[in-house]
Structure 1
């Protein structure tokens, strides 16, 4: 029996854990620190599914009618 994946649902955008190198680029681009990013709890179902840990940053890719794809960044907290 196949386990249901939240990420397979059409309303759930793509979530991925960012590498340190990619994170540095984003933080420099926006001239902010990691703690200034919006937060997401470690017990969020999608965060649990992708295996993100507190302190990591997740990149969320959403489809946008105007921009094609829009990127959002969330700091995982306990």
Structure 2
């Protein structure tokens, strides 16, 4: 019996960003996609997003001090 980890309360929301959003993000933070933290394409939390290498994933986590915080990860091939 397989469990869908994305339904678990401890797994934050993950969303694949479109190219326009990625361009805005990189411009806003004056960075390059390659400098973002990484997430493996086979990570269970993004499996349902049909990720491809090079995609950028937005992760929104609840924060006790800030309400919520947003993180960004570049999809890489599994190591």
State whether TM-score is above 0.5: yes
Deviation of the 1:47 alpha carbon: 2.1
Does 1:45 pair with 2:28?
no
The structure 1 segments of at least 4 consecutive aligned residues displaced by more than 3 Å after TM superposition are none
In structure 2, C-alpha distance between the alignment counterparts of 1:69 and 1:22, rounded to whole Å = 19
**Does the residue aligned with 2:57 lie in a helix, a strand or coil?**
strand
**Does the residue aligned with 2:10 lie in a helix, a strand or coil?**
coil
- Of residues 6-15 and 45-54 in structure 1, the stretch that sits farther from structure 2 once superposed is 45-54
In structure 2, C-alpha distance between the alignment counterparts of 1:5 and 1:48, rounded to whole Å = 10
RMSD: 1.3
Runs of 5+ in structure 1 lacking a partner? none
* Structure 2 partner of 1:68: 67
Runs of 5+ in structure 2 lacking a partner? none
In structure 2, C-alpha distance between the alignment counterparts of 1:58 and 1:64, rounded to whole Å = 19
TM-score by length of 1: 0.89
TM-score by length of 2: 0.88
Deviation of the 1:46 alpha carbon: 1.5
**Does the residue aligned with 2:23 lie in a helix, a strand or coil?**
helix
